[in-house]
Amino acid sequence: MKERDAKKRLDELKERIRYHNYRYYVLDDPEIEDYEYDKLMRELLDIESKFPHLVTLDSPSQRVGGEPSKEFSTVNHTSPMLSLNNAFNEGELRDFDRRVRSGVGQQVEYVLEYKIDGLSVALIYENGVLTRGATRGDGYIGEDITANLRTIKSLPLKLKGDYTLEVRGEVFIPKSAFVKLNEERKDEGLPLFANARNAAAGSLRQLDPRVTAKRPLDIFIFNLQNAEGFTFDTHLESLEFLYDIGFKVSPYRKLCTSIDEVIEQCNIWSAKRHQLDYDIDGLVIKVNSIEQRNSLSTTSRSPRWAVAYKFPPELKTTVIKDIIVQVGRTGALTPTAILEPVKIAGSVVGRATLHNQDYIDSKDIRIGDRVVIRKAGDIIPEVVEVLKEKRTGHEKPYKIPDKCPVCGSDSVRPEGEAVVRCTGIACPAQLKRRLLHFVSRDAMDIEGMGPAIINQLIDKGLVKDPADLYRLTKEQLMHLDRMGEKSSENLLTAIENSKTVALDKLIYALGIRYVGVRTAQLLAQRFKSIWDLARADYHETVSIDEIGDKIADSIQAFFKQHQNMETINRLHEYGVAMEDRDTGHKAVKKALEGKTFVLTGTLEGYTRNQAKELIEGLGGRVAGSVSKNTDYVVAGDKPGSKLKKAQELGITILDRQGFIKLITSLDE
């Protein structure tokens, strides 16, 4: 394809994809199947890969997220992003109305919109193309998050027209998408988000836009801040215009001619808000006339022509019938109250998290108590208050058990933490997360053993602890989805090869709490076998440089568990090396002992992790920041501020060639 033809076809594809994005994400009325849409995207990406200089900012390909940023730059808002004053009851709404009517001296119309519980952003379009997006910040200066905002599929990268304007919007995650997001994180063994707003805010502030692109973010545009060459008489007209040129605006835009109508709508939506697929914590009431707005003006922090009505929290009374413990994928024992079912915030609630023992003790929560509950952020049920005056004397205090209710291993509360954790390596409640850790690259490095395979092995009852991986057969693997004869043989080969990994990788693979890659290396250098480590007492362990009380206590607790030692014995029976077999490299390993390195920039031929492993494998230490105790700074392409600090302190700086020369000289 010639460049001229490629450009013409790209323009056609971009226009068609924009149109279908608008139908799907804004109108919720798609015209084509996902398969047809995917074909268009594949063709666009294929052409752009062949003609990369034809890629433009408004291309749909730019939604996938670019390279990570070291930090967000700050931007000055063209006009302040002010906060709204709040009204919490009918009286405060009427006070607002009196102030407005007194200020304009005539009849007033109000426009009501949902107060979306999300994160406000300012967006600038030049000649119809999105050029900048920023957070609110302090209202005057925000952070430039343009790359992250481009990933939101309902936000147009190019408008229907070459308009230059600024709009304000609210980024959020729909309730249904939030539930699915947390389910996926649970399956992956990741911590769950507390609520949709925090998830949206955290997603927008990711330094890596590729992470943001994986989050189900959405946006409603709520205000036209300014536009070149045209104006509107009313706010409602401006919203209709924004909708027409491709923006997703609030679906609820109610015109009210009196404060009585406003109050009526506030009461209606206070009861109906839970029917929506996104969180709203109130309604925003705005003067419709732009001329009246201008006459009312603003204070230093908020406009006089708008107010936010905040819905009152919904509280219900119920009874705690029982308290149970749930074991999470990290071994955390979380107490949960079993409630007499009660409807609150749009759904029936039968459980409420009690967080930890300190939470239970501080509120003096007992089984049988009558309590007041609410949904924190309208999502997570929690106990607000214990009605102690309702007690009969039959209520029972509660303590988290000292044995895991799932596997029977000891449950311990590490010093300085609020969470009690199970110490069992084969605890079924933690098994998927532990297996994923066990087979990971820094651990046993079993290539091909991903989440989909592990989930099937556990669901079919083929694997109940890490040792079971070493007795799998080709026939068993071939019965799994998407596993043929060749892929099964490859996986068995990877499992067999993992039997001879270095001792530090095995120690790390066991998943001992607080024992990361670096700590595992230190333990392997001190103790020459798993058996030596298991027999070591607290004082032997804590005497190792960089290992403190918390790590030593965790190691002791781990090896005291009969279940853990049983798994280790079975690993040994199946041929996994329990001793450090890398005897020929002992002298080399100490060649960099006592030396501290700092890495900055991109080192050609090495990932950051590979360079770090190489240094630590030779006995050196890799720090995150430069100090007077740093021995070497390894500076690759595009180094950061660490290089400048190293130069100021007179620290030895190694480029790629210097680093390779140092490492190879030690290995001779």
Q: Which residues are catalytic?
A: 115
Residue 577 CA to residue 388 CA, distance in Å, equals 59
In sequence order, which residues have a C-beta less than 8 Å from that of residue 308 and are 6 or more positions away?
A: 84, 85, 86, 87, 115, 282, 283, 284, 285
Q: DSSP string spanning 119-140? A: EEEEEEEETTEEEEEEE-TTSS
Contact between 340 and 318 under an 8 Å Cβ cutoff? The reply is yes
Residue 465 CA to residue 431 CA, distance in Å, equals 7
Which 3 state secondary structure label does DSSP give 458? helix
Residue 421 CA to residue 407 CA, distance in Å, equals 12
- Locate all alpha helices (DSSP H) within 561-628, ordered by sequence: 562-573, 586-589, 608-617
* Residue 175 CA: distances (Å) to CA of 121, 250, 663: 20, 16, 53
Residue 614 CA to residue 608 CA, distance in Å, equals 10
Contact between 550 and 414 under an 8 Å Cβ cutoff? The reply is yes
**Number of neighbours of residue 42 by Cβ within 10 angstroms:** 10
In sequence order, which residues have a C-beta less than 8 Å from that of residue 124 and are 6 or more positions away?
A: 78, 130, 131, 132, 133, 165, 166
Which 3 state secondary structure label does DSSP give 598? strand
Residue 410 CA to residue 429 CA, distance in Å, equals 14
Q: How many helices (H) and strands (E) does the chain have?
A: 25, 24
Tokens of 625: 């920041």
Residue 460 CA to residue 481 CA, distance in Å, equals 12
Q: Where are the beta strands (DSSP E) in 253-402?
A: 254-256, 280-287, 306-310, 316-327, 332-344, 347-353, 366-367, 370-376, 380-386, 396-397
